[in-house]
Amino acid sequence: MELLNFNKANCKHCYKCLRVCPVKAIKFKNDQASIVEERCIACGHCFIACPQNARKVKSDLNDIKEAIKEKRRIVATVAPSFVGSFSTDFAEKIVTVLKKLGIDYVEETAVGADIVANLYKKKLKEKNYKNIITTCCPSANFLIEKYFPSLTKYMFPIVSPMIAHGKLIKRVYGMDTFVIFIGPCISKKVEAKEAQHDDVIDAVMTFEELKEWVYESQLDIDNMEYTPFDRSSTERGRNFPLKGGVLGSFLDDHIRSKYDVMNIDGIDECIDMLNTLMKDDTEGLCVELNACREGCINGPGVPKDSLGKYERKRIVKRYVNYENENFTTDEIDIPEDIDFGKVFVDKSFYRPKADEATIQSILRSIDKFTPEDELNCGACGYSTCREKVQAVYEGMAEKSMCMPYMKSRAERLSNHIFESSPNAIFVVDEDLKVVEFNKVCEKIFNIKSGEIMGKPISVILDDEIFRKVIETQDNIILQKVYYKEYGMLFLQNIILIEKENALLVIMTDITDEEKSKEELVKIKENALQAAQDVIEKQMRVAQEIAGLLGETTAETKVVLTKLKELVLKDGDVK
């Protein structure tokens, strides 16, 4: 099931998504970005970075609406970072809002966090670990399973607060209960579909999706009353979304004396820590890993128009320490017959390795012949040219993604067209000074480019028409212009290059063509005159023949009449 990807045709080849992707799980083919699921850790950083907002995240909203329509028992578990993700009024009334939308019960995921904290403490009492890695962040878990699978032995084999709370909800409200998780994390959508616990969470909704649903429903939040959560949470559980909140929930002085405790946030920092844990001599580390900087308060599912992350952090801190009827100091009872265990497995994938000969061949194909040609500019999204070449070999990248190569290629093509064109081509800047001048221009205007470069075009041509284009911003296309001083007729195109406020002028010599046309016109005129003369002569001959025929006929008529009279006089004929 495809949960996360990019919309097709939205990609503008900026490679920003690839630059922020810590594991390079984004593939480019035919200039379209797509997420490779087996490589992805679902951190969502690429979606935040994409300037085209091309993200395509599977929404469970239709499933939720269908459950409401079917009148199923629906329970929402809300991540405690909600207080910093919405306006104060919205956050204070979130329980009321959700119930107005059709949800029957609303609890905080902090309940599940409290269960996890207790299980962590219990595990540490049962067994000594060389190193410890907490497992509340799904993206950090995916990172280890896919890219550092040998470190799964250090991962606490406990489910996340979302899964723990979901299991408890199913027990309390019934196994047929429809459970919705609402939080700031996109990776929860992937975690909820994992085979080990795919029957616990029925739908996942980000805070951003919830906000859109509320606005779509046109709820009058201003006139709503405050409603408490249906189950009280603890200070310890509410602290989970903050950096270090997981470790702070279960570590005591005894444990701290045995381990170096470290709170790591941000994928790059997590990778650095995991590389440290890969060393055989590393021991005594207790590490909390968070994919997002400052923890879950800064997840990719936070609404775009929410407060800054540090302001959100302050609000969540205040909420953690705020005591009211919705807060309890009692520990959550953990049903012993519910399995809160989690097995972390090797999810690594095969990556073909290019040999040196192949690397050199690909490098040469993008004009990188020496080490000096390998600029390692990072514009393509990869740190080095060789890393990009390896991606090309794996089918994850395209050669055309190299910006210096494509720029050089475009310049070569442009120069070839400019120099080999049979047309006169030149470019003038906004002051009508020549900045480009090809060889055809040199021949036509009898001046070397070095002599005209940087000088006004008026040195060789009347600049009135060029000045007009600059002023009106209107291009001139296929205009016939006769330059008397050169005795030549041109088909002239003057094109405004807006960004540079310069003019590209392309002039096609049509002098000979026009002469040929004039000669053809003369030939046609002569032919018409000759034809007219022939017609007139024929008419005269016809008239003369007609006249002669008329005279002969008259004479014949006279002779025949006389002959008739003679015959009648003889009396032989009656």
Neighbour tally for 438: CB within 10 Å: 20
Per-residue pLDDT at 521: 64
Highest mean pLDDT among 54-68, 269-283, 555-569: 269-283
Domain coordinates of the chain in residue numbers?
A: 1-58, 61-320, 356-408, 421-509
Per-residue pLDDT at 525: 64
Q: What is the pLDDT of residues 194-241, one digit of tens each?
A: 988 889 999 999 999 999 999 999 998 888 999 999 987 776 667 776
Secondary structure (DSSP) of 317-338:
HHHHT--STTB--SPPP--TTS
Q: Of all residues in the chain, what percent carry a pLDDT higher than 70?
A: 85
Per-residue pLDDT at 526: 65
Per-residue pLDDT at 315: 84
DSSP E strand boundaries for 356-470 = 424-428, 434-437
Per-residue pLDDT at 397: 93
Per-residue pLDDT at 465: 92
The phi-psi region of residue 402 (left if phi > 0; otherwise alpha if psi is between -120 and 50; otherwise beta) is beta
Surface-to-core class of residue 190, CB atoms within 10 Å of its CB (0-12 exposed, 13-18 middle, 19+ buried): buried
C-alpha to C-alpha distances, 20 to 23, 183, 291, nearest whole angstrom: 9, 22, 13
- The mean pLDDT of 506-526, rounded to a whole number, is 76
Domain 1-58 classification at class level: alpha beta
Predicted model pTM: 0.73
More confident call, 128 vs 65 = 65
**Residue 242: strand pairing partners:** 295
Secondary structure (DSSP) of 359-391:
HHHHHHHTT--SGGG-----TTSSSSHHHHHHH
Surface-to-core class of residue 297, CB atoms within 10 Å of its CB (0-12 exposed, 13-18 middle, 19+ buried): buried
Question: Which CATH architecture does the domain made up of 421-509 adopt?
Answer: 2-Layer Sandwich (3.30)
Mean pLDDT of the chain: 85
